[in-house]
């Protein structure tokens, strides 16, 4: 029973820490705390159950909860619901939010199976909602964007995350930006991904029909993993969003086919349009050809061993991106993860060159590539400043669980290459543990799979990167997730002979409550078989020492799809040391097991003329 009040729900968080039980007529202890503090506490509770538990202690707290800028994360609870269950859940949720949480500021439905009608139902009466996270809601259609603005009309909405909503298209982006221009709207951070800007998107007219005047308050825009963004579309975006402070384009591809018209060949850069009349503003016409010339002087591009055609293509892309950045006078950072390194280097070189050309009086946007250590460190610095409320360029909802730039950086940390590798995949395989931990702090998904089904932990285990393995395991990476061929991190580490990685994974699996010897592996091959086939005696010894004698016997008798036990595999290798290690650990129990060809381990040794192996079998047979 709660020590706050006899009639309070028994599950009030941390109530057991109170030492005294006040009388029923007394004021609950928690009410001695200023209501402003209680409001902040409420804003940090992301569970509906926890918030209601606190609020139902008394009417005063319930009233305070109604006005508090709550931040609710429903993704974990709703992500596994079926469609009928989701419909009921959303209906109940909408009523609860309207009744108990009218001051809701941050709603996270990411990764759930909600549909357009569900989102509209939940948000219809949320007039104070400032952050709406719908990332990974794959059932949402392109019609949702218009409905959110014309039907629901969220007057306080500042941040909208629609990444990985794969039914959306470039018309969805056009709708959001156009509505921001034509209506009084507070939206300033928009996140999309996987929009197709190619000519194959036949249902949409080419290019973007965006307002061409200073019309938008948007200062953070993410377009991750979009297809074939052209020069026309990027310039349209700069006109529609002239106040952009952060532009995220990681994982996107670009088209050079659509060119600007004759009247758009000169860019106006390094000026705030609203301050163009002030004495300290800088307004200089910069031809695209001049940007191209500066790009071509980049040392990283000039000294690369690429073919001339490849260099020219990279130069054109770098010109497009550098020119886009120059058109945004308030731009602080341009994120270009997974673009070729010479492209990123050329863009960085060009932006710095133009800054120096202005005598250093203009700010130079940073270029972030989260596949590189420098980019990760710069992003971490920006995240820390944003979390502390230092970044004055971004309007932030008070007490929201995730500041807009922090959410954008999380999106960037989860963008992917054409092979669906995330920055964490790259870091786990080749970067320092500081980069791995940095990406995790940015919000990188621990268990994302690349095109081959490999997780970051799998790649770290395969490469023998013990520090990365420790960092990933400590962060909660799933050590059981196998790749597309059924190989787990433990299996690949055993096959590669990375002893310390195997030791770390065994410890990680034990902490996760997983018995590694009971897991199913590809074609029936166990980690012990992998170590045996690669002749890694030290790994075999470690695996056998991790289990008791009964389990060791089970491992000896286990067969793969070909009926082979570890003794069959060891007999084929012919290693006397390996065979002795296995036989002494209980392998004699599998001496008479035949494989699919009808051969026992002794038969295999004889067929391959491994005399030492045959002698080892004879030795153990004499004692069995």
Note the pLDDT tens digit of each residue in 4-60: 443 444 444 444 343 343 444 444 555 556 666 666 666 666 666 676 667 666 666
List residues bridging with 334 in a β-sheet.
247, 367
- Give domain limits for the chain: 265-362
Q: Is 561 exposed, middle or buried (0-12, 13-18, 19+ CB in 10 A)?
A: exposed
Whole-number Å distance between alpha carbons of 355 and 363: 7
Provide the whole-model pTM.
0.85
Give the residue from 232, 227, 240, 150 showing the smallest Cα distance to 194: 227
pLDDT for position 199: 66
Q: Which residues contact 50 (CB under 8 A, 6 or more apart)?
A: 13
- What integer pLDDT is reported at residue 397 of this predicted model? 45
What kind and span of H or E run contains 292? helix 288-296
Q: Rounded to whole angstroms, how far apart are CA atoms 616 and 579?
A: 7
How far, in Å, CA of 76 to CA of 430, rounded? 32
- 304 is written with which tokens? 């690369």
DSSP summary character for residue 27: P
Angle at 35 between CA 32 and CA 37, to 5 degrees: 95
Q: What is the 3-state secondary structure (H, E, C) of 309-323?
A: HHHHHHHHHHHHHHH
pLDDT confidence of residue 59: 67
Measured between alpha carbons, how far is 191 from 584 in angstroms, rounded to an integer?
A: 60
Does residue 54 contact residue 13 with C-beta atoms inside 8 Å?
A: yes
Q: What are the two backbone dihedrals, phi and then psi, of residue 221, each rounded to the nearest 5 degrees?
A: -130, 125
Residue 62 in tokens: 């319930």
Q: CA angle, 286 as apex, 282 and 289 as ends, to 5°?
A: 165
Mean pLDDT by 10 residues, the chain (624 residues): 40 41 46 64 66 66 74 76 77 81 88 90 89 94 88 87 95 86 76 88 51 68 95 89 95 74 38 30 62 93 89 94 93 96 96 77 86 96 80 48 86 97 95 93 97 97 97 96 94 97 97 89 90 96 95 92 94 91 86 92 92 87 66
pLDDT for the residue numbered 3: 40
Which structure tokens are listed for 482?
């196998």
Cα separations in angstroms, 28 against 32, 57, 60, 63: 8, 8, 10, 15
The confidence score (pLDDT) of residue 326 equals 92
Count other Cβ atoms within 10 Å, centred on residue 212.
Answer: 11
Instruction: Extract the tokens encoding 36.
Output: 């402003």
Query: How many other CB atoms are there within 10 angstroms of residue 122's CB atom?
Result: 24
Nearest to 430 by CA among 505, 503, 372: 372
| Residue 546 near residue 512 (C-beta atoms within 8 A) | no
Euclidean distance between CA atoms 282 and 272, whole angstroms: 8
Residue 420 backbone dihedrals phi, psi, to 5 degrees: 65, 20
What per-residue confidence (pLDDT) applies to 426? Answer: 96
Predicted confidence at residue 292, as pLDDT, reads: 92
Instruction: Determine the pLDDT at residue 257.
Output: 61
> Of all helices (H) and strands (E), which one includes residue 538?
helix 537-545
C-alpha to C-alpha distance for 210 and 201, rounded to whole angstroms? 18
Question: Which residues are bridge partners to 255 per DSSP?
Answer: 230
Q: Which has the closest alpha carbon to 209: 184, 173, 180?
A: 173
Which residue matches tokens 């969805």?
Answer: 172
Q: What is the pLDDT of residues 87-143, one digit of tens each?
A: 788 888 888 888 888 888 899 999 988 899 989 988 988 888 999 999 999 999 999
Q: How far apart are the first and last CA of the chain?
A: 63
Assigned token pair, 370? 């989260």
């Amino acid at each position: 029973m709660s020590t706050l009040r006899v009639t309070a729900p028994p599950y009030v968080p941390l109530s057991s820490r109170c030492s005294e039980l006040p009388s029923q007529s007394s004021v609950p202890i928690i009410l001695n705390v200023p209501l402003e503090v209680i409001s902040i506490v409420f804003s940090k509770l992301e569970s509906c159950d926890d918030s209601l538990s606190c609020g139902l202690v008394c009417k005063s707290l319930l009233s305070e909860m109604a006005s508090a800028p709550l931040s609710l994360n429903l993704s974990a609870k709703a992500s596994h619901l079926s469609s009928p269950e989701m419909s009921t859940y959303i209906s109940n949720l909408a009523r609860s939010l309207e009744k108990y949480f009218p001051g809701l500021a941050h709603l996270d439905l990411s990764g759930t199976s909600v549909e357009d009608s569900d989102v509209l139902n939940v948000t219809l009466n949320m007039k104070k909602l400032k952050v709406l996270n719908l990332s990974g809601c794959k059932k949402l259609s392109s019609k949702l964007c218009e409905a959110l603005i014309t039907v629901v009309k969220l007057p306080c909405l500042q941040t909208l995350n629609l990444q990985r909503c794969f039914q959306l298209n470039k018309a969805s982006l056009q709708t959001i930006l156009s509505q921001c221009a034509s209506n009084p709207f507070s939206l300033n951070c928009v996140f999309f991904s996987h929009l197709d800007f190619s000519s194959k998107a036949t249902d949409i007219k080419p290019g973007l029909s965006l307002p061409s005047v200073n019309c938008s308050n948007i200062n953070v825009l993410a377009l991750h993993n979009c297809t074939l963004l052209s020069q026309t579309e990027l310039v349209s975006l700069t006109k529609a969003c002239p106040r952009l402070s952060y532009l995220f384009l990681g994982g996107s591809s670009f088209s050079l086919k659509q060119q600007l018209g004759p009247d758009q060949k000169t860019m106006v850069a390094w000026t705030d349009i609203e301050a163009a009349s002030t004495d300290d503003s800088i307004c200089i016409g910069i031809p695209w050809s001049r940007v191209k010339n500066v790009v071509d002087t980049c040392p990283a591009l000039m000294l690369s061993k690429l073919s001339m055609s490849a260099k020219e293509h990279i130069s054109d892309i770098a010109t497009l991106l550098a020119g886009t950045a120059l058109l945004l006078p308030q731009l602080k950072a341009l994120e270009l993860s997974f673009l070729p390194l010479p492209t990123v280097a050329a863009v960085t070189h060009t932006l710095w060159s133009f800054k120096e050309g202005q005598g250093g009086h203009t700010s130079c946007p940073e270029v972030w590539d989260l596949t590189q250590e420098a980019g990760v460190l710069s992003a971490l610095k920006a995240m820390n400043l944003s979390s502390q409320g230092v970044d004055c360029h971004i309007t932030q909802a008070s007490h929201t669980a995730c500041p807009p730039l922090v959410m954008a950086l999380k999106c960037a940390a989860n963008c992917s290459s054409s092979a669906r590798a995330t920055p964490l995949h790259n870091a786990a395989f080749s970067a320092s543990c500081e980069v791995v931990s940095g990406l995790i702090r940015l919000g990188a998904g621990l268990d994302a799979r690349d095109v081959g089904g490999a997780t970051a932990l799998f790649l770290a285990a395969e490469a023998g990167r013990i520090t990365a393995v420790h960092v990933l395991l400590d962060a909660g990476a799933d050590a059981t997730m196998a790749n597309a061929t059924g190989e787990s991190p433990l299996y690949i580490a055993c096959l590669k002979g990375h002893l310390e990685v195997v030791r770390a994974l065994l410890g990680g699996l034990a902490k996760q409550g997983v018995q590694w010897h009971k897991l199913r592996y590809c074609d029936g091959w166990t980690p012990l078989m992998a170590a045996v086939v690669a002749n890694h005696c030290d790994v075999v010894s470690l695996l056998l020492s991790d289990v008791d004698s009964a389990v060791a016997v089970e491992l000896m008798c286990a067969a793969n799809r070909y009926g082979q036990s570890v003794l069959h595999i060891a007999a084929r290798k012919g290693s006397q040391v390996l065979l002795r290690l296995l036989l002494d650990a209980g392998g004699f129990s599998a001496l008479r097991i035949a494989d699919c060809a009808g051969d026992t381990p002794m038969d295999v040794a004889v067929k391959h003329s491994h005399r030492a192996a045959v002698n080892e079998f004879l030795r153990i047979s004499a004692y069995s």
